[in-house]
Structure 1
Amino acid sequence: MYRPPFDADAESEIIAMALSDHVTFAQIRALHGIGPDEVKVMMRRRLKPGSYRAWRKRVRRFADRRAVYK
């Protein structure tokens, strides 16, 4: 399914939500209609490589400790 690219403001909001420890991927999907894989691609494209790796490590670590996280 083709989705037009997000404008800069929407993309910034999605990134801020993804970086937050209090917002789940389900909430991002409800507001913006994109799933976890698309969020990860966006984060990889917009963040520095080290920042992306640190974010993924944090998300994975919290997901292992909690039943419901991102």
Structure 2
Amino acid sequence: MKLPDLDSSTIDRVIEMAWEDRTPFEAINFQFGLSEEQVILLMRREMKPSSFRMWRKRVAGRKTKHRQQRAFVVGRFKSQNQNL
């Protein structure tokens, strides 16, 4: 799978959104057009191996990172930088 060419500010924002517990992968896809697999590849490429492993352990199975598994829809904080 190939990653699209992204500028450094976009990469920084994707990484920030990926680290946020309550930002689903669908929001990243909507805003930047990156699938979950592409986000994982980007994180692997841009982070130190130990940081990537820590992130993967953190998001693995986390319901808040997948919109369809979330039990809540409204009443949660939404960053002004987030389109979805």
TM superposition score normalised by structure 1: 0.82
Return 5+ residue gaps in structure 1 as ranges. Answer: none
Moved more, 42-51 or 54-63: 54-63
1:36 is aligned to 36
Q: Per-residue displacement from partner, 1:22-64 (whole Å, max 9, x unpaired)?
A: 111000000001100000000000111011001001111424x
Between structures 1 and 2, the one with greater helix share: 1
CA contact (8 A) 2:29 2:35 kept: yes
Kindly, what percent of the aligned residue pairs are identical?
Answer: 34
| Unaligned segments of structure 2, at least 5 residues | 71-84
Q: Please report the RMSD computed on the Cα atoms of aligned residues, expressed in angstroms.
A: 2.0
**Bigger Rg, which one:** 2
| Moved segments of 4+, more than 4 Å | none
Task: Calculate the TM-score normalised by the size of structure 2.
Answer: 0.69
